[in-house]
Structure 1
Amino acid sequence: MQASMLEEIVQVPNPYPIRFATEYPEVLRLCDQARELAWSPADIDFTDIREADLPPEVRAAGGEWWSLRSWMEHGAIPYGAERLREAIFSHQPIEIKQHVVNFINEELRHHEASVRIAQALGDYHPEPRADYFKQVIPRFHDERDEKQMSFFAGLAVNTLFEQLSGELLQARYENARFKSIKTACQLILRDEARHIQFGRIIMRRFFSELPADEKRLLGVKVAKKLRGSLLNGVYAVVNLPDDERQRAGRNRALAADHGLGATHPDDEVAIIRRGLTQIREDVAPYGVEIPEVPEVDRAAAQV
């Protein structure tokens, strides 16, 4: 081979040694469960919402809501791809890599299920129509915060948000009046429960070993992500500009009032507050403190 050809080869980290022996049996059990409980959005019959007698404005509101959910689920896919690359080149054992692959596949089917619901309602949006979502959602692909933390600390931060998502998804499941939407929410919740369990395993195994600076950074990143992105119309409408908050809130309420598996804007902050309180209780024994999130914590004080 010519020397000039060697110079053109892109250098990548060394993937060896490849560790195959099981080091995290609890994670391996989650991987086994993922295989046993695999499902496909294509198997869900969405005829009930496709043929439902719903006003056009309700279908539009539901389509916007489930399009938002699909974008959020899709945002987890590149995140997972980055974590898989890290797992490979940091020589993680196979069950860690397998879990991350399962996570990617599961988030992809959550995305697909959300798209199919929006399509059945007749109004799937392939991209945001509102400018604020075009500004907010790309932030989820910014890896700078994750790359400031160790591999497992970064995974743990994501898991904490899976807990918040699970709280909101439970509310959406309870809101759903249509069998197809309820089934999709139930299956997504089952996957999310495994993601949360993985995070709890990681916390037990690694949090006590994290240096103080990384524990502080972890708490700061959770509060930053919640404030800077997820309260801007994704988890709640509280941080949106007035006109957009009214528009998005009105449509979200319309979808919730008709049982389309949405969270009502008046309930969102209270749900997030409960989830955040539980997360703080979970990480406190490890010396991790999540700073004040004014939109959530001050609302609690007012109540």
Structure 2
Amino acid sequence: MSVATSTTRTILDVPESRFPLDLDIEIPRIRNLFHSATSNQWNPSCDIEWDALDITQFSPDQLYAARMYWSRRAWGEYGAISESPALQIRFCKENCAPDMRLFFTIRTQEEARHAEVCYRMAELLGGYIEQPDLSEFQGAVATHGVRKMALDPDVPLEGVMAALVCAAEEIAFDVFRHLIEITPNKVAQQVLKSIMRDEVRHCAFGWAFMSSRVPHLSTTQLAGVEDAVITMIEKVELNGYHSSWLAPDGPAARAETKVDRLTWEAGLGSTVEELEKPVFVASVARIRRQMTESWGIKLPMFRHPKIEGEF
């Protein structure tokens, strides 16, 4: 279909203006993150002590659950591989600071690395699983809508980055830190720590970008950023995108929470509702406080049937 016959306008329809091509440093904090990423590479095939994973100590049910858990993580990371190029296109179309475009070339590679290491973990536990057992769970793990937002010229880039990085990835980071603390299996913990090393930079990128942009945003634009963050928390995070116990009750959600519990009982990398709930609540509170202090926006209190009161 040609652009002329398309009924949906995307950022791809906006004429590209690449020249003059400026590669000077505009956001030093992001340029430093780019250099840190290039000098702190790791290899999923040889930087994890895979030989130390002894699966003979686990029951068949635990092994199947752990296979599903790590396969599910690979599905999510795989989705991020296509998310990064979509944002890269947006950066180029809007002629954003070169520091951002440089950093995202590495971010794409890092997401691919995360998918690979999760795939390898699932394979060693008995075999990678290619798709969810229940088709209704596919929507929960497939996407959080960022690729569509990134290509939508009506959604400000600041709103996309605030929602994706300063909200969703910050929550994921806090959960990763929690997982590392409670996971006794040496290999599973190594995998989690390796991914988290990269996620630290991903989160820092978002705050550095927003710090460079917020002073130039109007009240209306800041309200758009606030709306994007609220949508991400209410429609994505509280719908079970990262944590299955938050998903609406049903056969798929119950199956996934059972997978999480069996994997946690085996010490192979997951967590459970009673342990993760206070981490999630504290994460949302921290994000709300940081956005108020840094950007002057005030996120509302949220509600969820699995969480007592407002948080």
* TM-score class normalised by the smaller sequence: 0.7 to 0.9
Query: Which structure is higher in helix share?
Result: 1
- Aligned mates of 2:253, 2:215 — CA distance in 1: 41
- Aligned equivalents of 1:118, 1:230: Cα separation in 2: 24
**Letter of the aligned partner of 2:177 in structure 1?**
Q
User: In 1, Cα distance between the equivalents of 2:219 and 2:247?
Assistant: 31
> 8 Å contact 1:273–1:300 — kept in the other structure?
no
- The within-5 A match list for 1:134-145 is 134-141=138-145, 143-145=147-149
**3-state DSSP of counterpart to 2:127:** coil
How far 1:253 moved relative to its partner? 0.9
**Residue-by-residue CA offset, 1:128-179 (whole Å, 9 max, x unaligned):** 2222222233443564444333224422322121110001111221222222
Within the candidate set 27, 46, 50, 2:30 is matched to 27
Asked if 1 retains the 8 angstrom alpha-carbon contact of 2:82 and 2:147, the reply is: no
Q: Distance in 2 between matches of 1:39 and 1:23?
A: 28
CA contact (8 A) 2:159 2:229 kept: no
Q: Is the contact made by 1:176 and 1:261 (CA closer than 8 Å) also made in structure 2? A: yes
| SS of match in other structure, 2:128 | coil
How far off is 1:12 after superposition? 5.6
Contact 1:30-1:194 within 8 A present in 2 as well: yes
Q: Partners in 2 of 1:128 and 1:61 — Cα distance?
A: 12
The answer to whether the 8 A contact 2:76-2:142 is kept is no
Separation in structure 1 between the aligned mates of residue 276 and residue 176 of structure 2, nearest angstrom: 11
Match of 1:94 in 2: 98
Match of 1:284?
292
1:6 is matched with which residue?
A: none
* TM-score, normalising length: structure 1: 0.88
Unaligned runs of 5+ in 1: 1-9
Q: 1:187 to 1:122 in 2, by over 3 A?
A: same
Is the aligned partner of 1:116 residue 2:124? no
Contact residue 75 and residue 140 of structure 1 kept, 8 A: no
Match of 1:175 in 2: 182
Deviations 1:23-45 (A, max 9, x none): 11211111111111111111123
- 1:46-74 Cα offsets, whole Å, 9 max, x none, are 23335442111001111111111111111
The answer to whether residue 259 in structure 2 is matched with residue 255 in structure 1 is no
Q: Which runs of 5+ in 2 are unaligned?
A: 1-12
**Over aligned residues, Cα RMSD in angstroms?**
2.3
Of 147-156 and 204-213, the range deviating more from structure 2: 147-156
CA drift of 1:259 comes to 0.7
Contact 2:159 2:224 in 1 (8 A): no
